[in-house]
Structure 1
Amino acid sequence: MKFHIETERLILREFRKTDLRGMFELDSDPEVHKYLGNKPVKTKEESIKIIESVLNQYQERGIGRWVAIEKSSGDFIGWSGLRLNTEYNMNGFTKYYDVGYRFIKKYWGKGYATESGKAAVDYAFNILKLTELYATAEIENQASHKALLKIGLEYVEDFYFEEDELNLSWYKIENK
């Protein structure tokens, strides 16, 4: 499955196995995982499994996260986009679409989460014709909280996610 979305500063595209180096750099950094249960990957094999999982999501669900490429440098900077969750119960939901993002640390604070997140919401509502979209952020992650609000999601409530032992905030946006 091919995806190609351009924003002012980013190219959002499908994952490829050649994204291994960037994915390992991203997901092996403990600071990136500070608000994700602090479980960074330790091997490139783990990163390959993550990429393969997203490729399977494209085939099985028609959607999955996208690689984020910085236009000015051509660099893999992380991922963003949509996902159809069917794997676990999240705040009482077992099948829902969510918007999310994760970036290599040196690209934090540049507005890429907001920019790519807005593109994902636009895709969800205008291409997939979804009526609602959700997101989560660890309660202490103020940068992610601010980005989700700038994207247009509204804070709904806090909850405890037992599977990863995390205190999360739940967000929602409706297609109006």
Structure 2
Amino acid sequence: MKVICETKNLVLREFFEIDAYELFQMNSDKELMRIVNEKPYKSEEEANFFIENMIKHYQEFGFGLWGVHEKKSGRFVGWGGLRQTKYGAIINIRLKRKFQNKGYGTEVLNVIVDYAKNELKLDKIAAKANANQPETLKLLQKSKLTKSEDNELVYKL
């Protein structure tokens, strides 16, 4: 198990095949997936495909989306990390609904920003919220990122 970073309450680590069931449970939540504007997973195979692609992403870029787990209980909370796009590294965070509004999003966002700057030595990263995600916008406004002058929904390092 490769631990990437830790916060007061959470551990972020690389995904493994054994995480497929928990990932499927989160991404089959119709309400959560409506909010993030994605189709819910219909099978655990979709979660396996996601994990396989993320492992390739780790190998190609040295970072990716990581599983987020509570330190005390070990429970899967969601995922967070960086995804390489044609625009550069983009922060992505998704937490199970039952773990939202506990401060975990703030912990994950801040540790990802610190890790990107201090460990990966990235000088450019961004995060984006959809207009229908007011909680995400609040999270970004409180973060170590700065609102983009070009787009009020984009925040940059």
| TM class by smaller structure | over 0.9
User: What residue is the counterpart of 1:39 in the other structure?
Assistant: 39
Change (3 A) 1:107 1:42: same
2:141 alignment partner AA:
L
Following superposition, the deviation at residue 158 of structure 1 comes to 4.0
Alignment check: 8 A CA contact 2:129 2:154 kept? yes
Greater share of strand residues, 1 or 2? 1
Q: Give the 5 Å matches for 1:99-118.
A: 99-118=91-110
Q: Does residue 1:126 correspond to 2:110, yes or no?
A: no
Aligned length: 156
Following superposition, the deviation at residue 2 of structure 1 comes to 3.0
Alpha-carbon distance in structure 2 between the residues aligned to 1:64 and 1:3:
13
1:10 alignment partner AA:
L
Q: Give the 5 Å matches for 1:83-162.
A: 83-85=83-85, 94-156=86-148, 157-158=150-151
Scaled by the length of structure 2, the TM-score of the pair is: 0.92
Alpha-carbon distance in structure 1 between the residues aligned to 2:124 and 2:87:
12
User: What residue is the counterpart of 1:162 in the other structure?
Assistant: none
Alpha-carbon distance in structure 1 between the residues aligned to 2:133 and 2:146:
16
- What are structure 1's unaligned runs of at least 5 residues? 86-93, 160-168
Scaled by the length of structure 1, the TM-score of the pair is: 0.83
- What are structure 2's unaligned runs of at least 5 residues? none
Greater share of helix residues, 1 or 2? 2
User: What residue is the counterpart of 1:4 in the other structure?
Assistant: 4
1:7 alignment partner AA:
T
